[in-house]
Structure 1
Amino acid sequence: MLLLLAALGALVFAYGAAGLVGGAFALNRGWTPPSEGVRIYVEDNGIHTSIVVPVAAEGVDWRDLVRPEDLRDPRFAAHSHLSIGWGDRGFYVGTPTWAELKPGTVLRAAVGSDDTVLHIGHLGEPAVQAGVRAILLRPAEYQRLADFIRSSFAIGADGRAGSVPGYGRSDAFYAARGRYTALRTCNSWTGEALRHAGVRMGAWTPFSATVMEWLK
């Protein structure tokens, strides 16, 4: 038993160290923010990172996929922005904060799951503060970001992704594409999305800190 615990401890340590190293090396090193463009945000609650985008900007309109009737209270759909994150359904739905984190949930997600979701909340434009960073994107960069996010929806024959209500009245979970593993976490997805847009970002970002470090 002691050997097993030692092996597990070593594995966790190695994973953490690898994640920090992967997050320390940036891609898109030459990227600089424009003087004007589309302002997006990245939020961090200590576990999950999310990308906050305008409901409609530069020809990108999310209302064909994200609709008022998906919410417990459709009035929240009148807000100007959407907070979007991706992850394993069990891990995402079950761990809104550290208080709900359970070892079994972590182990099941680490092994891998094809049951992934997009968590989308409706909100007003956020203020830059602890856990919230702003990024200004050129129109073409924002279009690439939107294309990446749209490709993560599991669109059905009716042109929509199945949804269920979220944590409260203003958010919902949508069926998503992609496999969640210890190598591709919710924060890895955020990093991928930003790299796809062209933003300077860590090469591998499995932890929220490895995303936010590049957005100071």
Structure 2
Amino acid sequence: MAAPTRRALIRALKRTGRIARAVIGWAALLLGAYFFAGWVGSSIPSNRDFRQAADGVEIMIGTNGVHTMVVVPIQSPDMDWSRIFPASELADPSRPYTHLGISWGQKEVFIDTPTWADLSPWLVLRVVALGGDGLMHVEHWVNPQPGANYRPLRISHDQYRALVRALLRDLPPRSPERQRYPGYGTNDVFYDARGTYTAYLTCNEWTGATLRQAGLPTGAWTPFESSVMKWVPQPEGGGTR
């Protein structure tokens, strides 16, 4: 290789390296700004006057460490969830289910990643950059127990009815055309939902928006799991699900 050509190649490699470092630096800066904005937004209280009701409905806010959900009793004087999410749509409808865990997220992530090992970095980057269609995940449980990951709140009947409306805001009406998909096990199922997943409207911000609409304690913007859970006290004595 002639000396001028070699020098040109070296200059091109150096220029490429500078561009790559700049791109990585800006990406790291944007990521840091996003996390900082999430911390600030989730630290601004919504519904700061909330007090747990002496008499009302006990719900729970659940987490798997990354993703949050709202847990509600299937039957109560204010709502019969079996009309909306019947157990007959499960792989195992025979168990005496008492509660539902309801959450929302990005369709491709929900359906194509049954375990965290299935979640590729490329999928994460694509979802963060481009977003995607929303999907609702509904888990049916039998007498879930309060604990560090399932934290109870006793709310008034008015608040619970507002919570019901908030949980249903992105669910299309039940009809033969409403699409559903098999869940990860025998006790859960997915439903097509309204809304588009974005870097702003994450699965956890959907939970936070649901709580805000019902007058329950949360932050002004809750993009992360910790953004939601830090507003819900753990039950005394801990416990497990």
Same-fold call, TM cutoff 0.5: yes
More divergent stretch after superposition (177-186 vs 123-132): 123-132
Amino acid at match of 2:218: M
| 1:98-136 Cα distance to aligned partner (Å, 9 max, x none) | 433322222222234452111000002322222111011
Aligned with residue 175 of structure 1, among 183, 192, 205: 192
Rg (Cα) greater in structure? 2
Aligned with residue 38 of structure 1, among 57, 70, 83: 57
| 1:68-125 Cα distance to aligned partner (Å, 9 max, x none) | 232112224x300000000111122344554333222222222344521110000023
Aligned with residue 119 of structure 1, among 137, 145, 154: 137
Q: How many residues align?
A: 214
Identify unmatched segments of 5+ residues in structure 2: 1-19, 234-241
8 Å CA contact retained: 1:65, 1:160:
no
* Cα RMSD (Å): 1.7
Aligned with residue 47 of structure 1, among 59, 66, 81: 66
**Given the two structures, how large is their TM-score scaled by the length of structure 1?**
0.92
Q: Aligned to 1:183, what secondary structure does the other structure show?
A: coil
The equivalent of 1:185 in structure 2 is 202
Residue 177 of structure 2 corresponds to residue 163 of structure 1: no
Amino acid at match of 1:174: Y
Q: Aligned to 1:46, what secondary structure does the other structure show?
A: coil
Residue 221 of structure 2 corresponds to residue 201 of structure 1: no
- The whole-number CA distance in structure 1 between the counterparts of 2:163 and 2:71 is 11
8 Å CA contact retained: 1:47, 1:98:
no
- Cα drift, residue 179 of structure 1: 1.3
Identify unmatched segments of 5+ residues in structure 1: none
8 Å CA contact retained: 1:188, 1:207:
yes
Residue 131 of structure 2 corresponds to residue 107 of structure 1: no
Detail structure 1 runs of 4+ shifted over 6 Å in the superposition.
none
Amino acid at match of 2:127: A
Give me the identity figure in percent: 37
Amino acid at match of 2:52: P
Change (3 A) 1:128 1:195: same
8 Å CA contact retained: 1:70, 1:164:
no
Amino acid at match of 1:185: T
- The whole-number CA distance in structure 2 between the counterparts of 1:169 and 1:30 is 40
